[in-house]
């Protein structure tokens, strides 16, 4: 049975302030929760309408559908919700290709990009300090468990870029990604949804890339940042296979 204190804690974790304070986050749904359970993430409590989770004896709380609906952020709650400890980030491996985000605001975009990093084998995702929190419930839901395979680090992006040898940014104007010999390592930066890469960050980038528009009109203003990430990462990986 769900207690008042448990209800209060879970609902508070929808806000970054309390996630930071408690060093906890919420995962929901059978697939997402299972990904975290099968990883190194530390489980605090697991709430479910399904008794199969009773194997987690010390952490399991059997709840009703009505109780699940009270703590879920999903339109249609999916059997299980769990709270996990927020881990420390691992050291960044600068010998590989790193994806960096400059002030992304949209949780759905960040979650999708985390999943894309997982898909394309990007081990390190570096986020500026003002990028949306990767443990926001909407980010966790969109990433579908890929947090467990991507090292996400929040850091002063300008400081990291100023020390890096190979820095690349994505812009509306730049060298076509299909006409440039793309490297296997370095830091690839994607910008804010509305404003792109900031001027300070842009000044630290050695290479400017763009995804060319096709078709006769070429009037589309821009691509969604997650869509752009999928195209760019795909081309980086395609070229690495052909080398």
What's the CA angle centered on 81, arms 77 and 83, to 5 degrees? Answer: 150
Q: Yes or no: say if 201 and 161 are a contact pair by the CB < 8 Å rule.
A: yes
Give the Cα separation of 25 and 233 in Å (integer). Answer: 28
Q: Yes or no: say if 191 and 203 are a contact pair by the CB < 8 Å rule.
A: no
Among 118, 85, 74, residue whose Cα is nearest residue 99: 118
Tokens read off for 169: 């940014």
Give the three-state DSSP class for 233.
Answer: helix
- How high is the pLDDT of residue 189? 98
What's the CA angle centered on 27, arms 121 and 100, to 5 degrees? Answer: 35
In sequence order, the 6+-apart residues with CB closer than 8 A to the CB of 50 are 79, 80
DSSP 19: H
- How high is the pLDDT of residue 219? 76
194-197: long-range contacts, CB 8 A cutoff, minimum separation 24: 194/105, 195/103, 196/171, 196/172, 197/102, 197/169, 197/170, 197/171
Q: Which domains does the chain have, with CATH numbers?
A: 4-85 (3.30.1330.30), 97-242 (3.40.1280.10)
Tokens read off for 203: 């000044």
Q: What is the mean pLDDT of each run of 10 residues along the chain (243 residues)?
A: 96 98 98 98 98 94 97 94 97 97 98 98 98 98 98 98 96 95 96 96 97 84 93 96 75
- How high is the pLDDT of residue 243? 64
Give the number of other CB atoms < 10 A from CB of residue 38. Answer: 10
What's the CA angle centered on 108, arms 45 and 16, to 5 degrees? Answer: 50
Question: What's the length of the chain?
Answer: 243
Between strands 24-28 and 80-85, the pairing is: antiparallel
């Amino acid at each position: 049975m769900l207690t008042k204190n448990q209800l209060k804690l879970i609902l508070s974790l929808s806000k970054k302030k309390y996630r930071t304070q408690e060093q906890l986050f919420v995962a929901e749904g059978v697939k997402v929760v299972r990904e975290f359970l099968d990883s190194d993430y530390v489980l605090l409590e697991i709430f479910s309408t399904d008794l199969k989770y009773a194997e987690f004896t010390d952490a399991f709380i059997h709840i009703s559908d009505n109780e699940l609906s009270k703590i879920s952020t999903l339109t249609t709650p999916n059997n299980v919700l769990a709270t996990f400890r927020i881990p420390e980030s691992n050291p960044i491996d600068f010998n590989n290709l790193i994806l960096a985000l400059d002030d992304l605001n949209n949780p759905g975009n960040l979650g999708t990009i985390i999943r894309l990093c997982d898909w394309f084998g990007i081990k390190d995702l570096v986020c500026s300090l003002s990028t949306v929190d990767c443990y926001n419930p909407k980010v966790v839901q969109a990433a579908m468990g890929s947090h467990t395979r991507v090292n996400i680090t929040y850091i002063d992006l300008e400081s990291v870029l100023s020390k890096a040898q190979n820095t690349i940014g994505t812009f509306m104007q730049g060298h076509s990604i299909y006409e440039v010999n793309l490297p296997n390592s370095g830091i690839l930066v994607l910008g804010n949804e509305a404003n792109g890469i900031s001027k300070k960050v842009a000044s630290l980038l050695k290479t400017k890339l763009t995804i060319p528009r096709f078709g006769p009109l070429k009037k589309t203003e821009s691509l969604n940042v997650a869509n752009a990430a999928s195209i760019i990462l795909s081309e980086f990986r395609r070229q690495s296979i052909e080398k």
